[in-house]
Amino acid sequence: MQSRKDIPHRRPRWKANLSLVIILITVVILGTTLWATNNHLWRFPAKAKTTGLRAVFIDELSLTYPDQSLVTNTTRSLLAHGYTVDYIAPSPSAVDTFRQLPSQGHDLIIIRAHTASHQAIITTEQYDPNAYAADQISHRLVPAQVSDGPEYFALTPQFVRQDMNGMFMGSTIVVTGCSALEGTSDMAQAFLDKGAQFFVGWDNSVTIIHDDNQIGVLISSIAEGKNVPQAVSQAAVPDPVYNGRLRFLDWNSLVQVRWTNFVSAAVLWLGIGSVLIAGPFTVFVAPRLLAKLEEMNDARWRRRAVHTENQ
């Protein structure tokens, strides 16, 4: 006969079940967080800055359409309101300049450049079919030209998401090229997914003169302390030729739309899944279940009848 000491100790079943539930909940939470992050439904909040306000003016357009008064006036306005301002002129290594842009810690980024199809930003680095092979194969960099001029490298939204180093810390991005915020707003979403808080651009084509005038108004308003929606509202005068108007997209609105779309899709697929599950259940399981219930009911009546006869 085994003594009590020889009997192996068994962990209570409820404790094992509780541990399993905790593990499953933890896995679900971590998996959901990772999935939401990878699908840009959530991101870490921007780090608090320990230095003053910084702006950068990337003037790719000055290669063919210089506007020194715009550069001077916006720089003077920003400096007067506490910004430090960096100016980046056209460069044969523009691609690498853009690649490092998020890691520079600018609060306001003004990109004065042409845009190509699919809202790609045209740089001033001349196109070379043998350069950046991986980027070209994956369509992160594409060739583009303005009118009949030479071809230059253009940055696609995939370049912003996959090739730019670091994250924008709640920055405001202003892209002055035509239709930078039209239709699907792929470029705007790429910058926001990369950590920016606001993206400002035109919703249609725009003449260069009108573009520079209204961008000047926009930057002066931001420098004076107006928030981005207020500054865009003040500068959103439609172009007299193409009727393009400045608009903005912000991270909070984008995420709200994405979550709404996700919930709608989840409800739809849940409904489809329920139908797919309920269909086979109705055809195969339900008849057997009903038959089993009838059998149990008959057995109960038989037992009752036998009991009555015995009495």
Identity of the amino acid at 304: R
Amino acid symbol at 245: R
Which residues, in sequence order, are CB contacts of 273 under 8 Å at separation 6+?
none
Instruction: Give the C-alpha separation, 29 to 36, whole Å.
Output: 10
- Report the share of the chain in percent with pLDDT over 70: 75
pLDDT at 137 over 90: yes
Mean pLDDT confidence for 246-272: 84
User: How many Å apart are CA 256 and CA 44, to the nearest integer?
Assistant: 16
Please tell me the predicted confidence (pLDDT) of residue 307: 61
Q: Are 250 and 197 in contact (CB under 8 A)?
A: yes
Helix%, strand%, coil% for the chain, nearest 5: 50, 15, 35
Mean pLDDT of the chain: 85
The predicted-structure confidence for 179-224, as pLDDT tens digits, reads as follows: 999 988 999 999 999 999 999 999 999 999 999 999 999 999 999 9
How far, in Å, CA of 141 to CA of 187, rounded? 13
- What's the CA gap between 218 and 216, in Å, rounded? 5
Whether the predicted pLDDT of 13 surpasses 70: no
Assess whether pLDDT exceeds 60 at residue 139: yes
**pLDDT tens for each residue of 31-73:** 556 555 555 665 666 665 657 899 999 999 999 999 999 999 9
CB 310: neighbour CB atoms within 10 A?
6
What is residue 183's three-state secondary structure?
coil
> 6 or 184: whose pLDDT is higher?
184
For residue 84, give every residue at least 6 positions away whose Cβ sits within 8 Å of its Cβ, in sequence order, or none: 52, 53, 54, 55
Asked whether the predicted pLDDT for residue 238 surpasses 90, the reply is: yes
Domain boundaries, the chain: 13-42, 54-250
SS3 readout for 112-135: ECCECHHHCEEEEEECCCCCCHHH
Class of domain 54-250: alpha beta
Predicted TM-score (pTM) of the model is: 0.77
pLDDT tens profile 155-167: 999 999 999 999 9
pLDDT confidence of residue 264: 80
